[in-house]
Chain A
Amino acid sequence: AQTVTQSQPEMSVQEAETVTLSCTYDTSESNYYLFWYKQPPSRQMILVIRQEAYKQQNATENRFSVNFQKAAKSFSLKISDSQLGDTAMYFCAFMSRQGAQKLVFGQGTRLTINP
């Protein structure tokens, strides 16, 4: 079974700083998807960025980028020029390309952006 580990329960940075959230995962599969979701206090889970395992190029979405290290099974999220609205729980998630289309989530990292 796949597992996802986020080793940073909480992080706090100043507005406009850059922050990196860590995620490692365990799987024996070679083809899968990885995601970062954001869950603000409103509870709605919002997709931040996705990465296909067969693509070597790291995904980027505006201020958000990932560092995908397939051999190390590492998938970190970098947020540049952080904004107050980035304050939220961030979850790393894994999805196999086999079987049910289910997301396996990590425990989350609570990120606080301070003014």
Chain B
Amino acid sequence: ETGVTQSPTHLIKTRGQQVTLRCSSQSGHNTVSWYQQALGQGPQFIFQYYREEENGRGNFPPRFSGLQFPNYSSELNVNALELDDSALYLCASSLGLESDTQYFGPGTRLTVL
């Protein structure tokens, strides 16, 4: 069974640029959630996708957007990058909305200069 994978591992961008982060969910999981973890902080919920539809969103501006594909993999897009967007971005998958347990990927470290 393949776990949650994320790409890339590290990324460096400059302020104002756009970035796309990718996540492949664990086999059989149709729900993907994204979290932002600033240095020294706990993760903050960005949004969740269930069967290609957004199923809830945290307190993040519209320049944070996402997609889920028919194979349940997902993308997180961030436009007009700001310095404060520098963080570890974590993807987690779960087996449907009735499942409480989320399995996390290794994360993507984004640095905005």
Which residues in A have some Cβ–Cβ distance to B below 8 Å? 4, 33, 37, 42-47, 50, 52, 91, 93, 95, 97, 99-108
Partner of A45, one of B55, B90, B109: B90
* Smallest Cβ-Cβ distance to A9: which chain B residue: B40
B interface with A by C-beta (< 8 Å): 31, 33, 35, 40-45, 48, 55-58, 88, 90, 92, 94, 97, 99-107, 109
Q: Which of B48, B103, B105 contacts A102 (CB 8 A)?
A: B48
- The SS class assigned to the B binding surface is strand
Are A102 and B43 in contact (CB-based, < 8 A)?
A: no
The answer to whether residues A102 and B100 also contact, given A44-B106, A45-B90 and a CB cut-off of 8 A, is: no
The 4 A-B pairs at the shortest CB distance, nearest first, are namely A100-B56, A105-B42, A45-B104, A102-B45
Q: Are B35 and A103 interface neighbours, CB within 8 A?
A: yes
Q: Contacts A102-B33, A102-B56 known; A45 to B43 CB distance under 8 Å?
A: yes
Contact B42 A101 (CB under 8 A): no
In angstroms, Cα B31 to Cα A100, docked, is 11
Instruction: Tell me whether B107 and A101 are in contact (CB under 8 A).
Output: no
Chain A residues positioned under 8 Å from B88 (CB to CB): 43
Given contacts A101-B48, A102-B48, A107-B41, contact A95 B100 (CB under 8 A): yes
Is B43's CB under 8 angstroms from A47's CB? no
Contacts of B33 in A (CB 8 A): 101-103
17 intermolecular pairs with C-beta atoms under 8 Å apart = A37-B104, A43-B106, A43-B109, A45-B92, A46-B104, A50-B101, A52-B100, A95-B100, A100-B48, A101-B99, A102-B33, A102-B48, A102-B56, A103-B43, A103-B45, A105-B42, A106-B42
Q: Give the complex CA separation of A100 and B53 in angstroms.
A: 12
